A and B are shown apart, each in its own frame.
Chain A
């Protein structure tokens, strides 16, 4: 007996149907012993050719498609699309419409981060209790969406030139009630987890992305900010009047999974601040401008972007003066944030790969489109 244990590379499929992949997504990892030596992503199980379908429908008919791209943050997707069409056609939105858009986008950010943080903790092994806590708060936000737009997840609420309906009378008291409860929830949630030794051991130093890599790999959103790069489109390129609100950009400094979690928690706090300010200063007047149903923007192209919950959510639209977009492209943040997955997981264990993947916060509807 020489005392040397020999191993050989072994291929393991994580997914396509596995709770930690958050949908139908497959990672083919090659492990040598316990260490991952190679990882290959296999995606496309939910590819619906959304960009092709959009070329055959009018500009307004395309808004429901954007709901289905990232079905956990449909309001932000609506917003990015209508901003691109408005940029292309030169349409101005009334102040009340802009304020309502900000309220909805920030509520959506809290709902999305609740989901992201809850399922991320699920992936690390804290089974079910934290995710139920976050779902409880998310449910209240979804109730607000249902009250306003009639739908809970696929809201289809933004319109070119404003929003579909004005806020109902019950909205403001319910939203203020929600805002009163949110800071206590964040403290409770953070207190439960951030000092937890098992959680720290599972997430700190796992899936580290250095800032140079983050910029080089086109990352955006919480992924980029957790690496310490101060970049938020709401500050850098304000839209919908974000320059009038007072909020801060949380940054991580190590770029690991734990920092990404902390950045998301702190972003929820800042979003709650923005919603409070928007409700206080909600202007009167119309919520939308009149836009012709058969909108024909002038020929040209426009790229508009918003700071979605997952990162820079951009829409590139080309018009040929027809009733439908000539080309419709979604710059999907979860898709592009996945480009560093291999670098995050190689050298670690399979259990850490699940944590790294959970910390990216992907939604397969947006990855595959």
Chain B
């Protein structure tokens, strides 16, 4: 069975490899600091104990006050997985260092996060809107981008007993 690293274990390993790189650790994930992200990721990738040679998944999450970028990494030899997260709070111009120099295959998933969240990956070789076209208004997966006019939530009202999620304080993107 695959072993899942807890946040504390991963934080200890990252702190050993690059001192001062860890922001905080939760039960399942380790939050790294943005300014030393690439260096820490490269160390986690090459170290014999962590050996995270395979970047499995990369995606963003919008929490209103911050964006989280979630990296799922795994080792094919030691058969373990870990969850690494990075936070960025600047909603106007979120910038995160690109890890495509560490795992070259990250470039497409970073393009996807840029396209749908508007997160800029610094140092990316070819950052462009991969699904939508250049000049598309807004960033669709942000929570302030409404998929239905007026913030309708089409699927939920059919079931009695399910109240709708509180509509967020938004302005509609023109």
Q: Are B56 and A314 in contact (CB under 8 A)?
A: yes
Q: In the bound complex, what is the Cα–Cα distance between A339 and B126 (angstroms)?
A: 13
Look across to chain B and name the residue whose beta carbon is closest to the beta carbon of A335: B108
**Residues of chain A within 8 A of B61, CB atoms compared:** 301, 318, 326-327
Given A44-B131, A47-B131, A329-B59, check contact A336 B140 (CB 8 Å). no
Tell me, yes or no, whether B132 is within 8 Å of chain A by CB: yes
Stretch at the interface among A10-18, A147-155, A214-222: A214-222
Tell me, yes or no, whether B171 is within 8 Å of chain A by CB: no
**Residues of chain B within 8 A of A300, CB atoms compared:** 28
Q: Are A314 and B57 in contact (CB under 8 A)?
A: yes
**Residues of chain B within 8 A of A220, CB atoms compared:** 56
**Residues of chain B within 8 A of A217, CB atoms compared:** 103-105
Look across to chain B and name the residue whose beta carbon is closest to the beta carbon of A296: B162
Q: Are A218 and B140 in contact (CB under 8 A)?
A: no
Chain A 9-51 near chain B by CB (<8 Å), digits 1 or 0: 0000000000000000000000000000000000110010101
Tell me, yes or no, whether A201 is within 8 Å of chain B by CB: no
Tell me, yes or no, whether A303 is within 8 Å of chain B by CB: yes
Q: Are A218 and B156 in contact (CB under 8 A)?
A: no
Look across to chain B and name the residue whose beta carbon is closest to the beta carbon of A302: B28
How many A residues are at the interface, by size bracket? 35 or more
Q: Are A303 and B72 in contact (CB under 8 A)?
A: yes
Tell me, yes or no, whether B5 is within 8 Å of chain A by CB: no
Look across to chain A and name the residue whose beta carbon is closest to the beta carbon of B136: A44
Look across to chain B and name the residue whose beta carbon is closest to the beta carbon of A341: B108
Q: Are A329 and B57 in contact (CB under 8 A)?
A: yes
Q: Are A53 and B147 in contact (CB under 8 A)?
A: yes
Q: Among residues 332 to 369 in chain A, which have CB atoms less than 8 Å away from a CB atom of chain B?
A: 335-336, 338-340, 368
Given A303-B72, A324-B165, A335-B108, check contact A52 B140 (CB 8 Å). yes
Q: Are B147 and A52 in contact (CB under 8 A)?
A: yes
Q: Are B156 and A236 in contact (CB under 8 A)?
A: no
Q: In the bound complex, what is the Cα–Cα distance between A300 and B27 (angstroms)?
A: 10
**Residues of chain B within 8 A of A339, CB atoms compared:** 105, 107-108
Q: Are B104 and A216 in contact (CB under 8 A)?
A: yes
Look across to chain B and name the residue whose beta carbon is closest to the beta carbon of A45: B131
Q: In the bound complex, what is the Cα–Cα distance between A335 and B109 (angstroms)?
A: 9
Q: What's the least CB distance linking A209 to chain B, in Å?
A: 11
Look across to chain A and name the residue whose beta carbon is closest to the beta carbon of B55: A218
Q: Are B156 and A58 in contact (CB under 8 A)?
A: yes
Q: Are B72 and A43 in contact (CB under 8 A)?
A: no
Q: Are B141 and A216 in contact (CB under 8 A)?
A: no
Q: Are A218 and B56 in contact (CB under 8 A)?
A: yes
Q: In the bound complex, what is the Cα–Cα distance between A49 and B146 (angstroms)?
A: 12
Q: Are A324 and B106 in contact (CB under 8 A)?
A: no
Q: In the bound complex, what is the Cα–Cα distance between A342 and B131 (angstroms)?
A: 18
Tell me, yes or no, whether B86 is within 8 Å of chain A by CB: no
B155 touches which of A47, A61, A218, A231 (Cβ 8 Å): A61
Q: What's the least CB distance linking A239 to chain B, in Å?
A: 10
Q: Are A316 and B147 in contact (CB under 8 A)?
A: no
Tell me, yes or no, whether B40 is within 8 Å of chain A by CB: no
**Residues of chain B within 8 A of A51, CB atoms compared:** 116, 141
Q: What's the least CB distance linking B100 to chain A, in Å?
A: 10
Q: Are A236 and B105 in contact (CB under 8 A)?
A: no
Q: In the bound complex, what is the Cα–Cα distance between A56 and B109 (angstroms)?
A: 23
Q: In the bound complex, what is the Cα–Cα distance between A58 and B116 (angstroms)?
A: 22
**Residues of chain B within 8 A of A229, CB atoms compared:** 76
**Residues of chain B within 8 A of A294, CB atoms compared:** 159, 161-162
Q: Among residues 61 to 101 in chain A, which have CB atoms less than 8 Å away from a CB atom of chain B?
A: 61
Q: Are B161 and A56 in contact (CB under 8 A)?
A: no
Q: Are B161 and A303 in contact (CB under 8 A)?
A: no
Given A44-B131, A231-B76, check contact A338 B155 (CB 8 Å). no
Q: Among residues 122 to 174 in chain B, which have CB atoms less than 8 Å away from a CB atom of chain A?
A: 130-133, 140-141, 145, 147-148, 153-156, 159, 161-163, 165
Could you list 12 examples of A-B contacts with CB < 8 Å? A44-B131, A44-B132, A51-B116, A53-B147, A58-B156, A217-B104, A218-B105, A236-B2, A236-B76, A237-B1, A301-B70, A335-B112
Q: A52-B140, A318-B61, A323-B163 are in contact. List 7 more A-B contacts (CB 8 A).
A: A44-B131, A229-B76, A238-B1, A314-B57, A323-B165, A327-B61, A368-B131
